[in-house]
Amino acid sequence: MNKKDKIFLWVFIGLFVGYVIVQYTAPKPLDWTITFHEDDKNPFGGFVLIERLPDIFPELETSNYNFTQLFTDKENVLVLAHEMELSPTDEESISEMLHAGSSVFLAAHQFPQAWLDSLGLKVAFNYSFVNEEIFGEDQIQLISRINSSSSRYPRQMIQAVFEEVEADKWEIIVTDETDQPLVIKKAVGDGELILCSSPLIFTNFGLLYQDNYRFAAGILNLLPEQRTQLSYFYQLGRPEVQTPLRYILSQEALKLALYLALAALLVFLIIETRRRQRAIPVMTPPENATLTYVKTLGNLYFQEGNHKNLAEKMIRHFIHRVKEKYYLTFEPTEYFNHMLSVRSEVPIEEINATLAAVIAVRQKEQIKGNELVLLAEKLNRIVG
């Protein structure tokens, strides 16, 4: 690694560390995600609930089990969720638990419509989303019919109410200021089914807002004092295996720093893979000067007037070129003439005339200059 690369590396490390420090020390925006989880201290987490719930239910267990895994008799089952999705198997397990004597408390903004229809219930929704700037300005009063107590909550937390509740089948526990039910109870078999359409009153914010924990405790006291199971499955799903990479991606600062590191690595690779050596110059192959030499030598012989000697050398050169260019061994036969005509693409008549001239020249002791020129032209027509 050269000096330039080391400077680049240290600059990148400094920027990376500085970015992570800035991101971790910067004020964190308030996270309004609804989780209900015992480890979450954000407004809609469940840290406060899980801290105080043992005061009401000493035998408390938490899990990520579904209703089939939670199946038990004569115990409490508590489930909090934003949107509760129940499979036919879940609905069957709930019914079996209730008939076996368990008490089931379900709090959610939305329940499966088919399941609500089977219970003769309808839900009206208030689609007011949490806005931090105006949260708490508009409030709603909830009233308990058990002890006539009441509490006030931001209206944005109460996103659903039950409608058309049959009083002969359901006991209304909590209503809003317009007498719309939010918490209802019904005996099923040897157990009790309790439904709540406002699960946010059991979150950190809901419990600590204006000391409303007493109001929430009064609702939870509907469950008998016995072993209680609290499940996060219908809000969080099955727990995922926690790995270092998953943790990094779950933290905004670390995730952005990781993306920055990958981008810098890509730039580094692009720069470093560039060609470093100088371009190799194109070298032209040395010119074959054999033919030039032969022509020069021929001119000398021609000027001296030794035409016979020059003709013999031209014939030897012709025989060599025929073998080198057309892969034929010189022998003046009919087959040789035919193959030479085919490969050189010179008419057979011209081939025959040229080879006849070669034989005639070889038989003479002396030849004239014009005969030498004519022979050279015929030979060049064949071998070029």
What pLDDT score does 288 carry?
59
User: What's the mean pLDDT when you consider all of the chain?
Assistant: 83
What pLDDT score does 51 carry?
94
- Do 53 and 36 meet the contact criterion of CB atoms below 8 Å apart? no
CA distance 361 to 359: 6
> What band does 217 get if pLDDT is binned at 50, 70 and 90?
very high
- Do 153 and 212 meet the contact criterion of CB atoms below 8 Å apart? yes
**Which residues, other chains included, contact 165 with Cβ-Cβ below 8 Å and sequence gap of 6+?**
121, 172, 181, 184
CA distance 34 to 236: 10
In this structure, which amino acid lies at residue 332? P
pLDDT, one tens digit per residue, over 256-314 is 778 888 888 887 777 766 656 666 777 777 665 655 655 676 666 666 667 788 788 88
Residue 230 confidence (pLDDT) above 90 = yes
pLDDT, one tens digit per residue, over 72-83 is 778 999 999 999
Residue 121 confidence (pLDDT) above 90 = yes
pLDDT, one tens digit per residue, over 204-214 is 999 999 889 99
Q: Which residue do the tokens 């699960």 mark?
A: 199
Residue 197 exposed, middle or buried by CB count within 10 Å (0-12, 13-18, 19+): buried
Provide the 10 A C-beta neighbour count for residue 82: 18
What pLDDT score does 24 carry?
66
Domains of the chain: 47-239 (3.40.50), 290-383 (no CATH)
What pLDDT score does 171 carry?
95
Name beta bridge partners: 181: 175
**Looking at residues 80-98, what average pLDDT do you find?**
92
Provide the 10 A C-beta neighbour count for residue 216: 20
- Output DSSP code: residue 146: T
What pLDDT score does 113 carry?
92
> What band does 244 get if pLDDT is binned at 50, 70 and 90?
confident
Query: Quick check: helix, strand or coil at residue 281?
Result: coil
Residue 353 confidence (pLDDT) above 60 = yes
